């Protein structure tokens, strides 16, 4: 088949390998620019060997004049990078269809409930889960292959094409040892830095067989003894354990063979533990239920401010100068929620006026948003700190303190009635969503609260202040990209 794009008959594209994101991106851009509709494109990877014979190699799209810029949200690119790792053969078709629809249906950007969008998000979640399981359940066994030190080899069976994505994690974690991860579809080997190879090197190769991994050794026996000793029968929740560590992973986990006998003996062992005298004092368990506002919810923001000033539902209020409630117009497009006031906010009684606030203002300015058009608030209304010399140093509020403050924030949201919310950091995200949110994983994506309001989660500005200086520029650009998404929120389901 000719590589010409100026045609309307079906186009078959073959990508270099299962996770050829660059190839997909190039081909998809070129096809979209040439107006080739999704139903006219068939996607293959080089492993679909016979189909590949008749298809257009994705590399031809790299030829001059064949590519074109196609404008899509930054989050879509990130979504594609993750979804291409999914095992579903239809993933490239789905992503190209989404790209096409983003060009032809502007409303798609505001519709997080669209079936294609939901499917792609679901696939991305499955991929991230698989990456996480790989980092958690890979077990290396040393193999003496005649070199100076042993080669640590692990056999693993991921559900998706995630080996490339997780390899850098193992590279950072085990930088100084030689290791290899073998999987049925792909393998990767790490050669640590040496005189000949100052940076070290990751080498990817084809899939392998389980028989290629070494057998258990003495080190593994030691690990099993340790595992049996730290196993706490009173904590055993088999159902939870299987959820976190699905049985399909057990066959490659050395400790899995201990689970059944230890679980069988758990009832009797935990009975013994209960009967024995405690060795440490019991800690009081505090429930984190959200309390309603005492004396009923505030009816105006002024009333809310006055009530929050008197709040002593947790100990923080006792030491702060004042409660700092939010500032900004009612019914704004966006309400930004930070963690808690800092030193300067506590003294001035206004949110985000210290160093983190300056960064925030700079970001708004770069996005062309006037600060007085958005509402800015905090999840926790008082400043929590510890004294170091004469300085008051920020302390992260405890979960129960944020939970105690949640009703003030809820009242504020009801009274301000923003179209959408932006959670700056983990404390805000937890307070807004009512459960922990993995900010680095979920950043830049719209979620929906129980009240129907969309919430975009991103980093707190002070996380940028703490970022490694070498990565500042990138961190800043990424943060701006998240905030830019916030300017384009999906529609509110319910606006009270």
Contact residues for ligand URA (CB under 6 A)? 338-342, 345, 351-352, 354, 356-357, 378, 460
Q: What one-character DSSP code corresponds to residue 327? A: B
In the complex, the smallest distance separating the C-beta of residue 465 from ligand URA, rounded to whole angstroms, is 10
Task: Provide the β-strand partners of residue 448.
Answer: 454
CB atoms closer than 10 angstroms to residue 97: 17
Output the furthest CA–CA distance in the chain (Å, rounded): 81
Taking only Cα atoms into account, the Rg of the chain, rounded to an integer number of angstroms, comes to 27
> Closer CB to ligand URA, residue 36 or residue 374?
374
Q: Quick one: 159 or 309, whose CB is closer to ligand URA?
A: 309
191: number of Cβ within 10 Å: 15
Q: Min. distance of Cβ 296 from ligand URA in angstroms?
A: 27
CA dist 352 and 263 (Å) reads 52
Q: 371 vs 491, which CB is nearer to ligand URA?
A: 371
Q: Provide the minimum distance between the beta carbon of 447 and ligand URA in the complex, in angstroms, as a whole number.
A: 19
Q: Which of 336, 383, 334, 388 is nearest to 357 (CA)?
A: 336
* Residue 346 beta carbon to ligand URA: minimum distance, rounded to whole angstroms: 9
Distance, in Å, from the CA atom of 491 to the CA atom of 488, rounded to the nearest integer, reads: 9
Q: Would you say 342 or 490 has its CB closer to ligand URA?
A: 342
Neighbours of 382 (CB within 10 A): 27
How far apart CA 332 and CA 419 sit, in angstroms, is 7
**Cα–Cα distance, 448 to 433 (Å, whole number):** 8
CB-nearer residue toward ligand URA: 55 or 409: 409
Query: Crossing angle of helices 301-309/399-416, nearest 10°?
Result: 160
CB 364, min distance to ligand URA, A: 14
Measured from the CB atom, the residue of 21 and 352 that comes closer to ligand URA is 352
d(CA 329, CA 331): 7
Beta-carbon-side half-sphere exposure of residue 225 (alpha carbons within 13 Å)? 6
Nearer to ligand URA, 153 or 334 (CB): 334
Buried b (16+ CB within 10 A) or exposed e, 282-309: eeeeeeeeeeebeeebbeebeebbebbe
- Least separation in angstroms between residue 298's CB and ligand URA is 20
How far apart CA 108 and CA 37 sit, in angstroms, is 17
Smallest separation, CB 356 to ligand URA (Å): 4
Residues sharing a CB contact under 8 Å with residue 163, sequence separation 6 or more, in sequence order: 134, 181, 183, 185, 186, 187, 188, 204
Q: Report how far residue 143's alpha carbon sits from residue 131's, in angstroms, rounded to the nearest whole number.
A: 25
What is the C-alpha to C-alpha distance for residues 431 and 378, in angstroms, rounded to an integer?
10
Which CB atom, from 151 or from 311, has the smaller least distance to ligand URA? 311
Give the list of residues 6+ apart from residue 201 with CB closer than 8 angstroms, or none: 190, 191
State the minimum distance, in angstroms, from the CB of residue 336 to ligand URA. Answer: 9
Q: How far is the CB of 424 from ligand URA (least distance, A)?
A: 6
Q: How far apart are CA 402 and CA 395, in angstroms?
A: 12
CB of 378 to ligand URA, least distance (A): 5
Shortest approach of ligand URA to residue 254 CB, angstroms?
A: 45
Burial class of 444 by CB neighbour count within 10 A (0 to 12, 13 to 18, 19+): buried
């Amino acid at each position: 088949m000719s590589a010409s794009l100026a045609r309307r008959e079906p186009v078959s594209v073959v990508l270099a390998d299962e996770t050829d994101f660059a190839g997909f991106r190039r081909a998809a851009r070129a096809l979209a620019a040439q107006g080739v509709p999704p139903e006219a494109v068939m996607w293959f990877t080089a492993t679909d060997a016979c189909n590949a014979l008749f298809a257009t190699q994705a590399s031809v799209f790299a030829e001059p004049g064949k590519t074109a810029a196609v404008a899509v949200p930054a989050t879509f690119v990130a979504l594609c990078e993750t979804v291409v790792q999914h095992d579903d053969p239809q993933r490239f078709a789905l992503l190209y269809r989404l790209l096409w629809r983003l060009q032809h249906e502007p409303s798609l950007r505001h519709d997080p409930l669209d079936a294609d969008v939901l499917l792609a998000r679901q696939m991305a979640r499955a991929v991230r889960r698989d990456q996480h399981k790989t980092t958690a359940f890979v077990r290396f066994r040393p193999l003496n292959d005649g070199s100076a030190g042993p080669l640590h080899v692990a056999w693993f069976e991921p559900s998706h094409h995630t080996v490339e994505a997780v390899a850098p994690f193992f590279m950072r974690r085990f930088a100084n040892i030689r290791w290899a991860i073998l999987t049925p579809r792909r393998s990767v080997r790490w050669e640590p830095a040496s005189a000949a190879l100052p940076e070290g090197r990751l080498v990817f190769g084809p899939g392998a067989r389980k028989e290629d991994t070494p057998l258990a050794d003495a080190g593994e026996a030691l690990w099993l003894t340790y595992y049996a000793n730290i196993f706490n029968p009173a904590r055993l929740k088999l159902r939870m354990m299987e959820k976190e560590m699905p049985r399909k992973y057990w066959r490659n986990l050395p400790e899995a063979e201990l689970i059944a006998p230890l679980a069988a003996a758990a009832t009797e062992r935990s009975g013994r533990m209960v009967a024995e005298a405690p060795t440490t004092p019991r800690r009081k368990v505090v429930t984190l239920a959200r309390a309603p506002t005492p004396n009923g919810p505030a009816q105006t923001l002024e009333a809310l401010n006055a009530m929050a000033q008197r709040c002593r539902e947790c100990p923080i209020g006792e030491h702060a100068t004042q409660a700092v409630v939010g500032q900004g117009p009612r019914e704004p497009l966006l309400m930004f929620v930070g963690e808690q006031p800092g030193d300067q906010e506590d003294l001035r009684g206004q949110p985000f006026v210290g160093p983190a606030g300056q960064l925030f203002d700079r970001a708004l300015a770069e996005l062309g948003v006037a600060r007085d058009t958005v509402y800015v608030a905090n999840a926790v209304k008082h400043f929590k700190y510890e004294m170091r010399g004469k300085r008051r140093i920020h302390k992260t509020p405890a979960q129960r303190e944020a939970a105690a403050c949640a009703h003030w924030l809820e009242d504020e949201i009801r009274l301000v009635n923003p179209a959408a919310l932006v959670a700056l950091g983990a404390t805000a995200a937890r307070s807004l969503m009512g459960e922990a949110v993995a900010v680095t994983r979920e950043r830049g994506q719209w979620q929906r609260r129980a009240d129907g309001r969309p919430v975009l989660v991103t980093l707190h500005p002070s996380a940028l202040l703490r970022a490694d200086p070498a990565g500042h520029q990138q961190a800043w650009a990424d943060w701006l990209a998240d905030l830019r998404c916030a300017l384009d929120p999906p529609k509110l389901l319910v606006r009270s």
